[in-house]
Amino acid sequence: MTTGLLGGTFDPPQNGHVALGRAALEELPIDRLVVLVAAAPGHRAAVAPAEARLRLALAAFDFADEVVLDDHAFTVDAVEGGRLGEAIFVVGADEGAAFPSWKEPDEVLRWVRLAVGTRSGYPPPNLERYGDRVLSFHLESPPVSSSEIRARIARGEPIDELVPPAVAAAIRELGLYRGYTDHEPERT
């Protein structure tokens, strides 16, 4: 059995993340999808607390087989030793392009394959040096970012078209991102 792993900060999860997860289930040779919410990501600081982001991810990925909080700061630590079994780590094209700068990318690929979802009009990143350890697949995904959503919430603007309805409701209920002021681009 092959598991698709969709990892991220999900701060908040948005329609692009959901499209990536759904496309992975449809397009990749995986039997199940597990969403890993990074509790304390090593590549950027999270805005919302880990438990709140887990709740948002549970709402966004209601079609996933499992949504769990991941205590590993980096992907290499999460997959090390093959602890997740036969797995494919799923990323979007932006993260795929950044993959060579990840912590120990060769070690990541020792334990899992990487699947990069690409959108129409965006060329897939050049990851040929990793050979057959990298797959690519196509997805229909809206151009949206979590930082844009946080900024909209802080300005009091609607986000309903950018996130699943259950995520928008949970953000309102929890009062998340209202005081968000960090408008720096997200780092990978």
pLDDT (0 to 100) of residue 63: 98
Task: Judge if the upstream peptide bond of residue 12 is cis by omega within 30 degrees of 0.
Answer: yes
Q: H helices of 61-188, where?
A: 75-79, 93-98, 105-111, 146-154, 165-174
User: How does pLDDT run along the chain (188 residues), one tens digit per residue?
Assistant: 999 999 999 999 999 999 999 999 999 999 999 999 999 988 788 999 999 999 999 999 999 999 999 999 999 999 999 988 999 999 998 889 999 999 999 999 999 999 999 887 677 788 999 999 999 999 888 888 899 999 999 999 999 999 999 999 999 999 999 887 764 444 33
pLDDT (0 to 100) of residue 7: 94
pLDDT (0 to 100) of residue 188: 33
pLDDT (0 to 100) of residue 45: 86
pLDDT (0 to 100) of residue 61: 98
Nearest to residue 153, comparing CAs of 172, 130, 140, 136?
A: 172
Inter-CA distances, 177 with 49, 58, 81, 173, Å: 11, 18, 36, 11
pLDDT (0 to 100) of residue 182: 63
pLDDT (0 to 100) of residue 140: 87
pLDDT (0 to 100) of residue 131: 94
Q: Coil, strand, or helix at residue 148?
A: helix
Q: How many CB atoms lie within 10 A of CB 131?
A: 8
pLDDT (0 to 100) of residue 79: 94
pLDDT (0 to 100) of residue 135: 94
pTM of this structure: 0.91
